[in-house]
Amino acid sequence: FDAKRYAEAIPAFEAYLASKPDGEVAADALTSIAWSRIMLGQLDEASKTLETLTSRFPTSKGLAPTRLRLAWAVLEKDKPAEAAAAFQAIVASGDEKLAPEAAWGRARALDAAKQTDEALKAYALVAEKYPDGERGGLATLAQARLLTDAKRPAEAAAIYERYLHDHPDPKAAPKGA
């Protein structure tokens, strides 16, 4: 797995699980199988492995990061509605460590799905709830872009003005802004 030979790693982890289904590192083995399948683009299989991990080891420390990685992989495979739902589940789980990235992912997924009004709300949530993070400024700019695209220039201008007020120093602006 660490050598990124995912196709070879899966059978080794499966063999471990077959011999020790409740072994000391069974949750880690399932997590590694899920990540391997994600890296190989086997998202349906990764999802099934994640379901198994969830049902057998609901408190596994690898569960939330694996859910997040799978959500990004689903979005990368151009399935934005499915990705938005996956990101929302992470946000709703209350994991404060992953919530900012999951909220950002949900907004991006809704944007990609052309659900403008929902994407605007999701970007607003990111900008309001996580203003100090890098995503806060980017979310504000994304709102302005969507409003511009939707031919709502007055609202877009107000958002741009707020962005300039909140980020007066261009050198301190978030990357990608």
3-state secondary structure of 137: helix
The C-alpha atoms of residue 20 and residue 23 are separated, in whole angstroms, by 5
Please report how the helices 134-149 and 153-166 are oriented relative to each other, as an axis angle in degrees rounded to 10. 160
DSSP SS3 for 109: helix
Amino acid at 116: T
Output the pTM of the full model: 0.86
The per-residue pLDDT string of the chain (177 residues; one tens digit each, 9 = 90 and over) reads: 778 899 999 999 999 999 999 999 999 999 999 999 999 999 999 999 999 999 999 999 999 999 999 999 999 999 999 999 999 999 998 889 999 999 999 999 999 999 999 999 999 999 999 988 788 889 999 999 999 999 999 999 999 999 998 877 766 655 655
> What tokens were used for 76?
């990368």
